[in-house]
Chains A and B, each alone.
Chain A
Amino acid sequence: MKIEFSKYVPVGISHREEVQWIGTALLLAFFYSLKFFIAYGQGYNALFYRQNSQKIFFQDAYMPDFVVLLGHSLTGFAIIALTMLGLIAYHYAFHYQGSKSIYLMKRLPSRWELWRRCLSIPLTTMLLCLLLSILLLLIYYAFYMLITPAQCLPPAQWQTLWQVWMGGI
Chain B
Amino acid sequence: MLEIKKVSKYYGTKRALDQVNLCLPQGEIIGLFGENGAGKTTLMKCILNYVRYSGEITLDGQPINRKNIARISFATCEHSFFPTLTPQAHKEFYQLHFPRFDARRFTGLMDFFALPLHKAVKHFSAGQKNQFEVILALSQGADYILMDEPFAGNDVFNREDFYKVLLGILEPHESVLLSTHLLEEVENFISRALLIRQGNIVGDISMLELDESGKSLLDFVKETYHYQADRVRKALRDLTGEE
- Give the B-binding residues of A (Cβ under 8 A): 11-12, 97-104, 106-111, 113
Please give 20 more A-B residue pairs, beta carbons under 8 A apart, in addition to A100-B76, A101-B81, A110-B97.
A12-B83, A98-B83, A98-B84, A98-B122, A99-B81, A100-B78, A100-B80, A101-B80, A101-B82, A103-B48, A103-B50, A103-B76, A104-B74, A106-B49, A107-B50, A107-B74, A108-B97, A109-B70, A109-B97, A109-B98
Which A residues are in CB contact (< 8 Å) with B110? none
- From A12, A106, A109, A111, B50 is in contact (CB under 8 Å) with A106
Interface residues of B in 53-82 (CB under 8 A from A): 66-67, 69-70, 72, 74, 76, 78-82
User: Are B98 and A11 in contact, CB atoms less than 8 angstroms apart?
Assistant: no
Return the chain A residue nearest B72 by Cβ.
A107
- From B70, B78, B98, B122, A103 is in contact (CB under 8 Å) with B78
CA distance A97 to B84 in the complex (A): 10
Q: How many B residues touch A, CB cutoff 8 Å?
A: 22
CA distance A12 to B82 in the complex (A): 7
- From A11, A98, A101, A111, B66 is in contact (CB under 8 Å) with A111
CA distance A99 to B80 in the complex (A): 6
- From A97, A98, A100, A113, B97 is in contact (CB under 8 Å) with A113
- 25 A–B pairs (Cβ distance < 8 Å), ordered by A: A11-B93, A12-B83, A12-B84, A97-B83, A99-B78, A99-B80, A99-B81, A99-B82, A100-B76, A100-B78, A100-B79, A100-B80, A101-B82, A103-B78, A104-B80, A106-B49, A106-B50, A107-B48, A107-B50, A107-B69, A108-B69, A109-B69, A109-B70, A110-B66, A111-B66
Return the chain B residue nearest A7 by Cβ.
B96
- Give the A-binding residues of B (Cβ under 8 A): 48-50, 66-67, 69-70, 72, 74, 76, 78-85, 93, 97-98, 122
CA distance A119 to B205 in the complex (A): 47
Which A residues are in CB contact (< 8 Å) with B83? 12, 97-99, 101
A98-B122, A109-B97 are contacts. A104–B81 as well, Cβ < 8 Å? yes
User: Are B82 and A103 in contact, CB atoms less than 8 angstroms apart?
Assistant: no
A11-B93, A103-B50, A103-B74 are contacts. A109–B67 as well, Cβ < 8 Å? yes
